[in-house]
A and B are shown apart, each in its own frame.
Chain A
Protein backbone atom coordinates (compact mmCIF):
# COMPACT_ATOMS: atom_id res chain seq x y z
CA UNK A 1 0.00 0.00 0.00
CA UNK A 2 1.08 3.55 -0.73
CA UNK A 3 1.12 4.70 2.84
CA UNK A 4 3.33 6.82 5.01
CA UNK A 5 5.68 3.89 5.70
CA UNK A 6 6.93 4.17 2.10
CA UNK A 7 9.31 6.99 2.96
CA UNK A 8 12.04 6.74 0.36
CA UNK A 9 12.62 10.15 -1.20
CA UNK A 10 10.50 12.21 1.14
CA UNK A 11 11.44 15.62 2.46
CA UNK A 12 10.31 17.30 5.65
CA UNK A 13 11.54 14.92 8.34
CA UNK A 14 14.60 16.94 9.25
CA UNK A 15 18.07 15.72 10.03
CA UNK A 16 19.12 12.23 11.05
CA UNK A 17 19.55 12.42 14.81
CA UNK A 18 22.18 9.93 15.87
CA UNK A 19 22.61 9.32 19.60
CA UNK A 20 26.09 8.50 20.86
CA UNK A 21 26.30 5.23 22.83
CA UNK A 22 22.66 4.46 22.30
CA UNK A 23 21.46 1.60 24.54
CA UNK A 24 19.54 -1.33 23.01
CA UNK A 25 16.47 -0.17 24.96
CA UNK A 26 15.87 3.39 26.15
CA UNK A 27 13.34 2.46 28.75
CA UNK A 28 12.47 -0.80 30.41
CA UNK A 29 9.11 -1.03 28.65
CA UNK A 30 10.81 -1.08 25.25
CA UNK A 31 12.57 -4.32 26.08
CA UNK A 32 9.39 -5.77 27.55
CA UNK A 33 7.39 -4.75 24.44
CA UNK A 34 10.02 -6.24 22.15
CA UNK A 35 10.13 -9.41 24.24
CA UNK A 36 6.36 -9.78 24.26
CA UNK A 37 6.12 -9.53 20.51
CA UNK A 38 9.04 -11.87 19.93
CA UNK A 39 8.13 -14.59 22.40
CA UNK A 40 4.33 -14.52 22.53
CA UNK A 41 2.19 -17.26 20.99
CA UNK A 42 1.14 -16.43 17.46
CA UNK A 43 -1.92 -17.70 15.62
CA UNK A 44 -1.09 -21.02 13.91
CA UNK A 45 0.64 -20.47 10.56
CA UNK A 46 0.87 -16.70 11.05
CA UNK A 47 2.69 -15.33 8.00
CA UNK A 48 5.64 -13.18 9.03
CA UNK A 49 4.98 -10.68 6.27
CA UNK A 50 1.64 -9.86 7.85
CA UNK A 51 3.53 -8.30 10.76
CA UNK A 52 4.96 -5.64 8.44
CA UNK A 53 1.64 -5.19 6.70
CA UNK A 54 -0.18 -4.60 9.97
CA UNK A 55 2.41 -2.01 10.95
CA UNK A 56 1.70 -0.22 7.65
CA UNK A 57 -1.99 -0.01 8.54
CA UNK A 58 -1.29 2.17 11.56
CA UNK A 59 -2.97 5.54 11.09
CA UNK A 60 -0.46 7.76 9.25
CA UNK A 61 -0.15 10.42 11.96
CA UNK A 62 0.36 7.72 14.59
CA UNK A 63 2.93 6.01 12.39
CA UNK A 64 4.89 9.25 12.54
CA UNK A 65 4.48 9.91 16.26
CA UNK A 66 4.64 6.47 17.85
CA UNK A 67 8.03 4.98 18.51
CA UNK A 68 9.20 1.71 17.01
CA UNK A 69 8.25 -0.47 19.98
CA UNK A 70 4.89 1.26 20.37
CA UNK A 71 4.21 0.26 16.81
CA UNK A 72 5.15 -3.31 17.70
CA UNK A 73 2.61 -3.22 20.50
CA UNK A 74 -0.01 -2.06 18.05
CA UNK A 75 0.85 -4.90 15.67
CA UNK A 76 0.84 -7.50 18.48
CA UNK A 77 -2.57 -6.29 19.58
CA UNK A 78 -3.90 -6.44 16.03
CA UNK A 79 -2.55 -9.96 15.50
CA UNK A 80 -4.14 -11.26 18.69
CA UNK A 81 -7.41 -9.41 18.08
CA UNK A 82 -7.65 -10.63 14.48
CA UNK A 83 -7.10 -14.21 15.61
CA UNK A 84 -9.59 -13.90 18.44
CA UNK A 85 -6.83 -14.84 20.92
CA UNK A 86 -7.72 -11.77 22.97
CA UNK A 87 -10.76 -9.51 22.89
CA UNK A 88 -10.92 -5.72 22.81
CA UNK A 89 -12.53 -5.87 26.24
CA UNK A 90 -9.65 -7.93 27.64
CA UNK A 91 -7.18 -5.50 26.15
CA UNK A 92 -8.89 -2.59 27.84
CA UNK A 93 -9.14 -4.44 31.17
CA UNK A 94 -5.65 -5.94 31.07
CA UNK A 95 -7.04 -9.27 32.34
CA UNK A 96 -8.74 -12.29 30.78
CA UNK A 97 -12.49 -12.62 30.62
CA UNK A 98 -13.92 -14.75 33.41
CA UNK A 99 -13.77 -18.49 32.87
CA UNK A 100 -10.89 -18.41 30.37
CA UNK A 101 -8.77 -21.58 30.36
CA UNK A 102 -5.08 -20.65 30.60
CA UNK A 103 -2.87 -22.00 27.84
CA UNK A 104 0.41 -23.64 28.69
CA UNK A 105 2.25 -23.60 25.37
CA UNK A 106 3.98 -20.20 25.42
CA UNK A 107 7.66 -20.03 24.46
CA UNK A 108 9.79 -20.92 27.49
CA UNK A 109 12.91 -19.13 28.61
CA UNK A 110 15.20 -22.03 27.72
CA UNK A 111 14.23 -22.06 24.04
CA UNK A 112 14.63 -18.31 23.38
CA UNK A 113 18.27 -18.60 22.34
CA UNK A 114 17.47 -21.42 19.91
CA UNK A 115 14.56 -19.40 18.55
CA UNK A 116 16.89 -16.49 17.84
CA UNK A 117 19.16 -18.83 15.89
CA UNK A 118 16.48 -20.87 14.19
CA UNK A 119 17.16 -21.17 10.47
CA UNK A 120 13.58 -21.13 9.22
CA UNK A 121 13.81 -18.74 6.32
CA UNK A 122 11.99 -17.42 3.28
CA UNK A 123 14.15 -19.08 0.61
CA UNK A 124 12.25 -21.65 -1.50
CA UNK A 125 13.29 -23.98 -4.29
CA UNK A 126 11.48 -23.22 -7.54
CA UNK A 127 10.84 -25.63 -10.40
CA UNK A 128 10.75 -22.90 -12.98
CA UNK A 129 13.91 -21.06 -13.94
CA UNK A 130 14.28 -17.30 -13.52
CA UNK A 131 12.79 -15.01 -16.20
CA UNK A 132 15.54 -12.46 -15.94
CA UNK A 133 19.29 -12.78 -16.34
CA UNK A 134 22.13 -10.99 -14.63
CA UNK A 135 22.90 -7.68 -16.41
CA UNK A 136 19.46 -7.64 -18.03
CA UNK A 137 17.70 -4.26 -18.18
CA UNK A 138 14.30 -4.39 -16.54
CA UNK A 139 11.58 -1.95 -15.60
CA UNK A 140 9.98 -2.06 -12.17
CA UNK A 141 6.25 -2.27 -12.82
CA UNK A 142 3.98 0.65 -12.13
CA UNK A 143 1.52 -0.87 -9.70
CA UNK A 144 -0.46 0.50 -6.76
CA UNK A 145 -1.62 -2.46 -4.68
CA UNK A 146 -3.85 -1.63 -1.73
CA UNK A 147 -2.36 -4.52 0.17
CA UNK A 148 1.23 -5.23 1.21
CA UNK A 149 4.06 -4.89 -1.26
CA UNK A 150 7.80 -4.46 -1.04
CA UNK A 151 8.14 -2.42 -4.21
CA UNK A 152 8.66 1.16 -3.02
CA UNK A 153 6.87 3.94 -4.92
CA UNK A 154 10.13 5.64 -5.83
CA UNK A 155 11.26 2.71 -7.97
CA UNK A 156 8.01 2.09 -9.84
CA UNK A 157 8.22 2.63 -13.57
CA UNK A 158 11.99 3.05 -13.37
CA UNK A 159 14.56 1.12 -15.37
CA UNK A 160 17.34 -0.80 -13.68
CA UNK A 161 19.77 -3.66 -14.19
CA UNK A 162 19.62 -7.09 -12.57
CA UNK A 163 22.83 -7.63 -10.60
CA UNK A 164 22.09 -10.74 -8.56
CA UNK A 165 19.67 -13.65 -8.45
CA UNK A 166 18.75 -14.96 -5.00
CA UNK A 167 16.66 -17.97 -6.04
CA UNK A 168 13.07 -18.34 -4.91
CA UNK A 169 11.69 -16.39 -1.94
CA UNK A 170 8.27 -16.19 -0.32
CA UNK A 171 6.27 -13.37 -1.95
CA UNK A 172 5.22 -10.83 0.70
CA UNK A 173 2.36 -9.47 -1.43
CA UNK A 174 0.54 -12.82 -1.14
CA UNK A 175 1.93 -14.12 2.13
CA UNK A 176 0.95 -11.02 4.13
CA UNK A 177 -2.67 -11.66 3.20
CA UNK A 178 -2.78 -15.36 4.17
CA UNK A 179 -2.54 -16.38 0.51
CA UNK A 180 0.33 -18.78 1.07
CA UNK A 181 4.05 -18.34 0.38
CA UNK A 182 3.60 -18.11 -3.45
CA UNK A 183 7.40 -18.03 -3.87
CA UNK A 184 8.99 -16.21 -6.81
CA UNK A 185 12.49 -15.57 -8.01
CA UNK A 186 14.10 -12.67 -6.17
CA UNK A 187 16.65 -10.36 -7.76
CA UNK A 188 18.81 -7.47 -6.71
CA UNK A 189 18.26 -4.63 -9.17
CA UNK A 190 20.57 -1.64 -9.54
CA UNK A 191 19.09 1.75 -10.41
CA UNK A 192 21.12 4.85 -11.08
CA UNK A 193 20.35 7.77 -8.82
CA UNK A 194 19.60 9.81 -11.96
CA UNK A 195 17.02 7.31 -13.19
CA UNK A 196 15.24 7.49 -9.84
CA UNK A 197 15.61 11.16 -8.97
CA UNK A 198 16.38 13.01 -12.19
CA UNK A 199 19.30 14.85 -13.65
CA UNK A 200 20.19 16.75 -10.50
CA UNK A 201 21.20 13.52 -8.77
CA UNK A 202 24.82 12.40 -8.59
CA UNK A 203 25.92 10.70 -11.80
CA UNK A 204 27.96 8.03 -9.99
CA UNK A 205 25.55 6.91 -7.33
CA UNK A 206 23.34 3.85 -7.47
CA UNK A 207 20.48 2.42 -5.41
CA UNK A 208 19.97 -1.34 -5.12
CA UNK A 209 16.69 -3.04 -4.31
CA UNK A 210 15.68 -6.66 -3.84
CA UNK A 211 12.68 -7.19 -6.09
CA UNK A 212 10.50 -10.21 -6.85
CA UNK A 213 9.92 -11.40 -10.39
CA UNK A 214 6.32 -10.16 -10.62
CA UNK A 215 7.53 -6.65 -9.75
CA UNK A 216 9.56 -6.59 -12.96
CA UNK A 217 9.07 -6.49 -16.71
CA UNK A 218 11.64 -6.51 -19.51
CA UNK A 219 12.73 -3.00 -20.48
Chain B
Protein backbone atom coordinates (compact mmCIF):
# COMPACT_ATOMS: atom_id res chain seq x y z
CA UNK B 1 0.00 0.00 0.00
CA UNK B 2 2.63 2.51 -0.97
CA UNK B 3 2.38 5.09 -3.67
CA UNK B 4 4.64 2.77 -5.61
CA UNK B 5 2.14 0.00 -5.15
CA UNK B 6 1.52 -2.94 -7.42
CA UNK B 7 -1.63 -1.15 -8.50
CA UNK B 8 0.31 1.26 -10.67
CA UNK B 9 0.76 -0.74 -13.86
CA UNK B 10 -2.65 -2.31 -13.54
CA UNK B 11 -4.23 1.13 -13.18
CA UNK B 12 -2.22 2.55 -16.06
CA UNK B 13 -3.52 -0.18 -18.39
CA UNK B 14 -7.12 0.53 -17.47
CA UNK B 15 -6.52 4.27 -17.88
CA UNK B 16 -5.26 3.55 -21.41
CA UNK B 17 -8.49 1.80 -22.30
CA UNK B 18 -10.42 4.91 -21.29
CA UNK B 19 -8.77 6.79 -24.17
CA UNK B 20 -11.41 5.36 -26.47
CA UNK B 21 -13.99 7.70 -24.99
CA UNK B 22 -12.61 10.72 -26.80
CA UNK B 23 -13.24 8.95 -30.13
CA UNK B 24 -16.86 8.02 -29.46
CA UNK B 25 -20.01 10.09 -30.05
CA UNK B 26 -20.80 12.42 -27.18
CA UNK B 27 -24.49 11.49 -27.04
CA UNK B 28 -24.72 8.74 -24.42
CA UNK B 29 -28.04 7.47 -25.82
CA UNK B 30 -26.27 6.50 -29.05
CA UNK B 31 -23.34 4.92 -27.27
CA UNK B 32 -25.46 2.88 -24.88
CA UNK B 33 -27.66 1.68 -27.74
CA UNK B 34 -24.59 0.52 -29.66
CA UNK B 35 -23.24 -1.17 -26.56
CA UNK B 36 -26.51 -3.00 -25.94
CA UNK B 37 -26.67 -4.33 -29.48
CA UNK B 38 -23.04 -5.40 -29.37
CA UNK B 39 -23.53 -7.23 -26.09
CA UNK B 40 -26.68 -8.89 -27.37
CA UNK B 41 -24.88 -10.06 -30.51
CA UNK B 42 -22.09 -11.50 -28.42
CA UNK B 43 -24.49 -13.19 -26.06
CA UNK B 44 -23.18 -11.12 -23.14
CA UNK B 45 -26.59 -9.75 -22.27
CA UNK B 46 -30.22 -10.67 -22.85
CA UNK B 47 -32.21 -7.47 -23.55
CA UNK B 48 -35.17 -8.99 -21.69
CA UNK B 49 -32.94 -9.20 -18.60
CA UNK B 50 -32.25 -5.48 -18.91
CA UNK B 51 -36.01 -4.96 -18.93
CA UNK B 52 -36.29 -7.09 -15.80
CA UNK B 53 -33.69 -5.01 -13.97
CA UNK B 54 -35.30 -1.75 -15.00
CA UNK B 55 -38.58 -3.04 -13.64
CA UNK B 56 -36.95 -4.02 -10.37
CA UNK B 57 -35.64 -0.50 -9.81
CA UNK B 58 -38.66 1.30 -11.19
CA UNK B 59 -41.35 -0.69 -9.43
CA UNK B 60 -40.07 -3.21 -6.92
CA UNK B 61 -37.41 -1.37 -4.95
CA UNK B 62 -37.65 2.16 -3.62
CA UNK B 63 -37.95 4.38 -0.59
CA UNK B 64 -41.27 2.72 0.35
CA UNK B 65 -39.20 -0.18 1.67
CA UNK B 66 -37.13 2.02 3.94
CA UNK B 67 -40.26 3.86 5.05
CA UNK B 68 -41.77 0.55 6.20
CA UNK B 69 -38.69 -0.14 8.29
CA UNK B 70 -38.89 3.32 9.84
CA UNK B 71 -42.61 3.14 10.57
CA UNK B 72 -42.27 -0.28 12.14
CA UNK B 73 -39.49 1.02 14.38
CA UNK B 74 -41.70 3.92 15.43
CA UNK B 75 -44.60 1.72 16.51
CA UNK B 76 -42.72 -1.33 17.77
CA UNK B 77 -40.09 -0.55 20.45
CA UNK B 78 -38.72 -4.08 20.38
CA UNK B 79 -38.20 -3.89 16.62
CA UNK B 80 -36.56 -0.49 16.96
CA UNK B 81 -34.17 -1.96 19.52
CA UNK B 82 -33.30 -4.81 17.15
CA UNK B 83 -32.88 -2.35 14.28
CA UNK B 84 -30.44 -0.18 16.17
CA UNK B 85 -28.50 -3.17 17.51
CA UNK B 86 -28.31 -5.19 14.30
CA UNK B 87 -29.95 -3.50 11.34
CA UNK B 88 -28.89 -6.25 8.93
CA UNK B 89 -30.85 -8.79 10.92
CA UNK B 90 -33.82 -6.50 11.57
CA UNK B 91 -34.15 -5.46 7.94
CA UNK B 92 -33.65 -9.09 6.98
CA UNK B 93 -36.74 -9.94 9.03
CA UNK B 94 -38.70 -7.85 6.52
CA UNK B 95 -36.89 -9.52 3.61
CA UNK B 96 -35.46 -6.20 2.48
CA UNK B 97 -31.78 -7.02 2.16
CA UNK B 98 -30.09 -7.24 -1.22
CA UNK B 99 -27.26 -6.01 -3.40
CA UNK B 100 -25.77 -2.73 -2.10
CA UNK B 101 -27.56 -3.30 1.17
CA UNK B 102 -26.44 -6.61 2.67
CA UNK B 103 -24.66 -5.01 5.64
CA UNK B 104 -26.92 -2.42 7.20
CA UNK B 105 -26.56 0.07 10.04
CA UNK B 106 -29.49 2.21 11.21
CA UNK B 107 -28.72 5.65 12.63
CA UNK B 108 -31.21 7.13 15.04
CA UNK B 109 -31.91 10.85 14.83
CA UNK B 110 -32.79 12.41 18.18
CA UNK B 111 -33.34 15.98 19.36
CA UNK B 112 -29.61 16.09 20.13
CA UNK B 113 -28.08 14.14 17.21
CA UNK B 114 -28.69 14.47 13.48
CA UNK B 115 -27.23 11.89 11.10
CA UNK B 116 -26.42 12.51 7.45
CA UNK B 117 -25.22 9.91 4.92
CA UNK B 118 -22.87 10.50 1.98
CA UNK B 119 -20.35 8.60 -0.12
CA UNK B 120 -17.51 10.97 -0.95
CA UNK B 121 -15.57 8.42 -3.02
CA UNK B 122 -18.33 7.18 -5.33
CA UNK B 123 -22.08 7.03 -4.66
CA UNK B 124 -22.70 4.11 -2.28
CA UNK B 125 -26.34 4.05 -1.23
CA UNK B 126 -28.64 1.49 0.43
CA UNK B 127 -30.41 0.36 -2.74
CA UNK B 128 -32.73 -2.33 -1.30
CA UNK B 129 -34.31 0.08 1.16
CA UNK B 130 -34.14 3.36 -0.80
CA UNK B 131 -33.97 2.36 -4.47
CA UNK B 132 -31.62 4.20 -6.79
CA UNK B 133 -29.99 7.36 -5.47
CA UNK B 134 -31.23 10.74 -6.71
CA UNK B 135 -28.93 12.67 -9.05
CA UNK B 136 -27.94 15.16 -6.36
CA UNK B 137 -26.68 12.39 -4.07
CA UNK B 138 -24.29 11.29 -6.83
CA UNK B 139 -23.24 14.82 -7.78
CA UNK B 140 -19.94 16.53 -7.03
CA UNK B 141 -21.53 19.32 -4.95
CA UNK B 142 -23.05 16.89 -2.44
CA UNK B 143 -20.10 14.52 -2.34
CA UNK B 144 -17.61 17.33 -1.82
CA UNK B 145 -19.53 19.49 0.64
CA UNK B 146 -21.48 17.09 2.86
CA UNK B 147 -18.33 16.32 4.85
CA UNK B 148 -16.81 19.81 4.89
CA UNK B 149 -19.93 21.90 5.35
CA UNK B 150 -22.85 19.67 6.38
CA UNK B 151 -24.75 22.53 8.00
CA UNK B 152 -24.52 24.61 4.85
CA UNK B 153 -25.75 21.68 2.76
CA UNK B 154 -28.65 21.00 5.13
CA UNK B 155 -29.60 24.67 5.03
CA UNK B 156 -29.87 24.43 1.26
CA UNK B 157 -32.31 21.57 1.79
CA UNK B 158 -34.28 23.86 4.10
CA UNK B 159 -33.11 22.21 7.29
CA UNK B 160 -31.48 24.62 9.70
CA UNK B 161 -30.21 22.86 12.82
CA UNK B 162 -29.46 24.65 16.09
CA UNK B 163 -25.80 24.86 17.15
CA UNK B 164 -26.25 22.41 20.03
CA UNK B 165 -27.43 19.60 17.78
CA UNK B 166 -24.55 17.28 16.99
CA UNK B 167 -24.26 16.44 13.32
CA UNK B 168 -22.79 13.07 12.46
CA UNK B 169 -21.89 12.62 8.84
CA UNK B 170 -21.41 9.01 7.69
CA UNK B 171 -19.08 8.60 4.74
CA UNK B 172 -19.90 5.21 3.17
CA UNK B 173 -16.36 4.10 2.44
CA UNK B 174 -16.97 0.34 2.81
CA UNK B 175 -19.83 -2.05 2.01
CA UNK B 176 -21.78 -1.04 5.10
CA UNK B 177 -24.89 0.87 4.08
CA UNK B 178 -26.57 3.44 6.30
CA UNK B 179 -30.24 4.16 6.86
CA UNK B 180 -31.25 7.16 8.96
CA UNK B 181 -34.10 6.50 11.37
CA UNK B 182 -35.72 9.93 11.49
CA UNK B 183 -37.50 11.34 14.52
CA UNK B 184 -41.19 10.52 14.63
CA UNK B 185 -42.99 13.84 14.25
CA UNK B 186 -45.19 15.09 17.05
CA UNK B 187 -48.93 14.74 16.59
CA UNK B 188 -48.77 11.36 14.89
CA UNK B 189 -49.73 9.27 17.89
CA UNK B 190 -52.97 8.11 16.34
CA UNK B 191 -51.65 7.16 12.95
CA UNK B 192 -51.36 3.54 11.88
CA UNK B 193 -48.04 2.01 10.87
CA UNK B 194 -49.10 2.29 7.26
CA UNK B 195 -50.09 5.95 7.61
CA UNK B 196 -46.79 6.66 9.32
CA UNK B 197 -44.85 4.97 6.52
CA UNK B 198 -46.56 7.28 4.03
CA UNK B 199 -45.03 10.28 5.85
CA UNK B 200 -41.47 9.02 5.65
CA UNK B 201 -39.50 10.49 2.75
CA UNK B 202 -36.36 9.33 1.03
CA UNK B 203 -34.63 12.58 1.97
CA UNK B 204 -35.38 11.99 5.68
CA UNK B 205 -33.78 8.53 5.46
CA UNK B 206 -30.63 10.03 3.90
CA UNK B 207 -30.65 12.71 6.58
CA UNK B 208 -31.19 15.87 4.53
CA UNK B 209 -34.75 16.38 5.83
CA UNK B 210 -36.94 15.70 8.83
CA UNK B 211 -40.25 13.88 8.66
CA UNK B 212 -43.12 16.28 9.03
CA UNK B 213 -46.60 15.41 10.26
In the docked arrangement, what's the CA distance between A199 and B140, Å?
A: 31
Mark A143-184 against chain B: 1 for CB-CB distance below 8 A, else 0. 010000000000000000000000000000000000000000
User: Quick check: A200 and B140 within 8 Å, CB to CB?
Assistant: no
Q: Does A197 contact B (CB under 8 A)?
A: yes
Mark B1-32 against chain A: 1 for CB-CB distance below 8 A, else 0. 11110000001000100000000000000000
In the docked arrangement, what's the CA distance between A191 and B140, Å?
A: 31
Give residues 1-35 of A contacting B (CB, 8 Å): 2, 11-12, 14
User: Quick check: B148 and A144 within 8 Å, CB to CB?
Assistant: yes
Given contacts A2-B148, A198-B2, A200-B4, 7 further A-B contacts (CB under 8 A): A11-B11, A12-B15, A14-B15, A60-B140, A144-B148, A197-B3, A200-B1
In the docked arrangement, what's the CA distance between A198 and B2, Å?
A: 8
Q: Does A201 contact B (CB under 8 A)?
A: yes
Nearest-Cβ distance from residue B11 to partner chain A, whole angstroms: 8
Least CB separation from B7: chain A residue: A11
Least CB separation from A146: chain B residue: B149
In the docked arrangement, what's the CA distance between A197 and B15, Å?
A: 23
Q: Which 9 pairs from chain A and chain B are nearest by CB?
A: A200-B2, A200-B3, A200-B4, A144-B148, A197-B3, A14-B15, A201-B3, A60-B140, A12-B15
Mark A190-213 against chain B: 1 for CB-CB distance below 8 A, else 0. 000000011111000000000000
* 15 pairs, A vs B, C-beta closer than 8 Å: A2-B148, A11-B11, A12-B15, A14-B15, A60-B140, A144-B148, A197-B3, A198-B2, A198-B3, A199-B2, A200-B1, A200-B2, A200-B3, A200-B4, A201-B3
In the docked arrangement, what's the CA distance between A14 and B148, Å?
A: 28
Least CB separation from A12: chain B residue: B15
Write out the residue numbers on chain B whose beta carbons fall within 8 Å of the beta carbon of A198: 2-3
Write out the residue numbers on chain A whose beta carbons fall within 8 Å of the beta carbon of B4: 200
In the docked arrangement, what's the CA distance between A199 and B3, Å?
A: 10
